[in-house]
Amino acid sequence: MRLFISTLLLLCHFSTLAQNPAVRLEMSNGGNTISTMIIFFNGATTGYDAWYDAPYLDEFSGWQFGSLIGTQEINTNVLPLSLLSDMATITVPLFFETTFSSTFTISLMQFDNMPSGWVANLIDDQTGISHELSNGAFSFAGNIVTSYNRFTLNIENGIAIYGCMDDASCNYDSSATIDDGSCDGGEIADDACDCEGNILDECGVCGGDSSSCSGCTNANATNYDSTATIEDGTCLYDQEVYDVALALCPECINEDQIDEGFTCIEIWEPVCGCNDVTYSNDCYAFYNGVTEWTDGECELLTPYNPDFDNDDIIGVNDLLALLSVFGSSFVSDSDCGNGIVEDGECCDDGNDIQTDGCNACQCEGSPQDE
């Protein structure tokens, strides 16, 4: 009577259950077959429930096949639908027994309405063999000593990715499809991009070294990288392109020609270097490494430069030089620092006045202010 009621109740739900995810296995031997069903349905439980689960009905006296809920032999096993979203592997124990030795075959006859990526794997616990039933049937030798609970059906998410699915947690994994309980509840610092305290680099990579968007950004280079946004100095050019680039934009300072110990003649013939610095003459420009210059002083960007004699020292010499140009009548006989080699001078300190504040200089053949 209980079997009749259970079967009747199941038939009442059949139209609804038929629309739900379902797996049906079939065991065959000779011309005989036995099926067992696993259906996923809202409201079902993992334990035995007479409202949903249909107990096993012996069909053949010689052998039996079905699923187990505890020790209860089941023909139709109805499980909670939520298992398909909460679990990566749903394990269903199977039972099998026979009174004779023969070859038996288990086939996957139904795998309806199952989520994408899920598969049915049959585990032979006696031999350790795992077989994906969607790839074909599984045959085995059965006999009277065959273990009763020899088989397990694993319904698995073949594309499951385990991780923390709590987006408020520090170790949240946006690619995870199964929450593995690893969420630590920590929070990422405001100025960081991950739990380790790393920050975004210039390329927007968390914890990166800005190399992912670095490269040669010069379109004239042979190794130009159109995706690079940071110039890393690796540009290469063929000789013709390099010569053209050098002619259009020559290097202004050549460190190889810098010689601080070389003595230039003290004559005021100012030149403006390509670095926008005024030098007393081209000799000073050259031995300061300047590769190109134009005659005349550089255009002043400010109305007054207190370092009037451009010796990087602001002192009495600058005052005297200023007065010698704009008001020489205030300092009699003092031509020091005016940038002009006048009559009687061998350099711009050649007036032999010891008290005029000029630095001594030595001209060839004519020592002065010694």
Alpha helix ranges (H) inside 272-328: 282-287, 316-326
Q: Is the pLDDT of residue 122 over 90?
A: yes
pLDDT tens digits for range 252-296: 888 888 887 778 888 889 999 888 888 888 888 888 888 889 999
Cα–Cα distance measured from residue 322 to residue 317, given in angstroms and rounded to the nearest whole number? 8
pLDDT tens digits for range 158-193: 776 778 888 878 888 887 766 777 887 777 777 888
Percent of the chain with pLDDT over 70: 70
pTM higher than 0.75, yes or no? no
Whether 115 is covered by a domain: the verdict is yes
Cα–Cα distance measured from residue 20 to residue 37, given in angstroms and rounded to the nearest whole number? 12
Average pLDDT, the chain: 77
Whether 198 is covered by a domain: the verdict is no
DSSP letters of 237-265? --HHHHHHHHHHS--SB-GGG--TT----
Residue from 121, 124, 198, 131 nearest 154 by CA? 121
User: For tokens 């451009």, what's the residue?
Assistant: 310
Highest mean pLDDT among 167-176, 233-242, 318-327, 330-339: 167-176
Cα–Cα distance measured from residue 350 to residue 327, given in angstroms and rounded to the nearest whole number? 20
pLDDT number for residue 328: 40
Sequence-distant contacts of 358-363: CB under 8 A, at least 24 apart: 358/317, 358/320, 358/334, 359/317, 361/266, 363/266
Which H or E run includes 86?
helix 83-86
Q: Is the pLDDT of residue 342 over 70?
A: no
Whether 120 is covered by a domain: the verdict is yes
pLDDT confidence band for 111 (50 / 70 / 90): very high
**Cβ–Cβ < 8 Å for 122, 139:** no
Cα–Cα distance measured from residue 114 to residue 136, given in angstroms and rounded to the nearest whole number? 18
Q: Is the pLDDT of residue 364 over 60?
A: no
pLDDT tens digits for range 39-81: 999 989 999 988 888 888 766 678 999 999 999 999 999 999 9
Q: Is the pLDDT of residue 236 over 70?
A: yes
Q: Is the pLDDT of residue 304 over 60?
A: no
pLDDT confidence band for 366 (50 / 70 / 90): very low
Whether 33 is covered by a domain: the verdict is yes
The count of structural domains within the chain is 1
Whether 23 is covered by a domain: the verdict is yes
Amino acid at 170: C
Cα–Cα distance measured from residue 283 to residue 266, given in angstroms and rounded to the nearest whole number? 10
Residue numbers of the domain that contains 120: 2-157
pLDDT number for residue 266: 82
pLDDT number for residue 308: 61
Whether 72 is covered by a domain: the verdict is yes
Q: Is the pLDDT of residue 223 over 50?
A: yes
Whether 295 is covered by a domain: the verdict is no
- Average of pLDDT values for 322-335? 47
DSSP letters of 32-64? EEEEEEEEEETT--SS--TTT-EE-----SSEE
